[in-house]
Each structure stands twice: as C-alpha cells, then as structure tokens.
C-alpha cells in the first residue's frame, strides 16, 4: 500500500512537471522555436515513460491488494477514514491534472497543425486561391 501511495504522490509531482513543459511547448510553438520544441518533446517523452511505468506498477500493486480487475475504489476501501480521504483527494487531483494535460496537449497540437498548414500554403501556394467558384 505504501508503494502505491508513494507512486501517486510522485505522479502528482511528475504531472506538475508535465504541465509546466506543455506550457513551455505552447510558448515555443507561438515563437516558432523549433529547436526548443524538439528539446521539450524529448523531456515530455521521458516523463511519459516514467508515468507509464508507475501506472503499470500501480495496477500490479492494486491487483495484489484487491485481486483481479482492481479499481481505485477498491483500494480506497482498504484504508481507514483519514488516510482514505487523503488518497481520494490526491487521486482526484491527479485525475484533474491528467485532464488538464490532455486539454493543453490538444491545444498545442491544434496550434502546431495550424502553423504547419499555414507554412505549407506559404511554401507551396494554395490551390484554391485563384480558382473560380
């Protein structure tokens, strides 16, 4: 149980780093800093690997604690009220951070796709620009 709880705490810190990097990624995209975007992508990739390893460990630990097809609700039920409340709060915070990271990532992807589209039009022209309707 301690390893599972420690993993969630570590994920909270790692997701904060992830959110910071995603914000930096947006700024680098706005400023067209392609080298910095590459650096950030590597850093994000490394964090994703760490988070995925912790997720796999969490599933393994939860399975040991609660049996096959574990859920966090089953893990919560194993704790006394005070530690349970702390874990539920940490888990809710982690879920919120994951959702925020997804939304920010989607925003960044949309920006980069739009920039790419614009650049393609600038470099190769827009086939529809001078065609009669």
What CATH number should be reported for the domain holding residue 85?
1.20.58.300
Full-model pTM: 0.85
Going by pLDDT thresholds of 50, 70 and 90, the confidence category of residue 10 is very high
Task: Check pLDDT > 80 for residue 122.
Answer: no
The range of the structural domain enclosing residue 10 comes to 2-124
Nearest partner of 54 among 13, 103, 102, 96, judged by Cα: 13
Question: What mean pLDDT is predicted for residues 42-51?
Answer: 98
Number of domains in the chain: 1
Task: Check pLDDT > 70 for residue 127.
Answer: no
Structure confidence at residue 104 (pLDDT): 98
Task: Check pLDDT > 90 for residue 12.
Answer: yes
C-alpha 76/C-alpha 88 separation (Å) is 7
Does 133 reside within a domain?
no
Task: Check pLDDT > 80 for residue 85.
Answer: yes
| pLDDT greater at residue 19 or residue 113 | 19
Burial of residue 35, with CB atoms counted within 10 A of its CB: 0-12 exposed, 13-18 middle, 19 or more buried: exposed
Does 40 reside within a domain?
yes
């Amino acid at each position: 149980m301690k390893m599972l709880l420690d993993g969630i705490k570590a994920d909270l810190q790692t997701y904060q780093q992830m959110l910071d990097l995603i914000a930096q990624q947006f700024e680098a995209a706005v400023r067209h800093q392609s080298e910095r975007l590459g650096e950030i992508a590597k850093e994000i990739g490394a964090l994703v690997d760490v988070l995925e390893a912790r997720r796999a460990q969490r599933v393994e630990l939860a399975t040991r604690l609660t049996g096959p097809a574990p859920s966090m609700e089953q893990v919560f039920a194993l704790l006394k009220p005070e530690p349970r409340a702390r874990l539920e709060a940490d888990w809710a915070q982690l879920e919120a951070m994951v959702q925020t990271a997804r939304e920010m990532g989607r925003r960044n992807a949309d920006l980069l796709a739009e920039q790419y589209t614009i650049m393609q039009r600038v470099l190769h022209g827009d086939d529809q620009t001078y065609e009669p309707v």
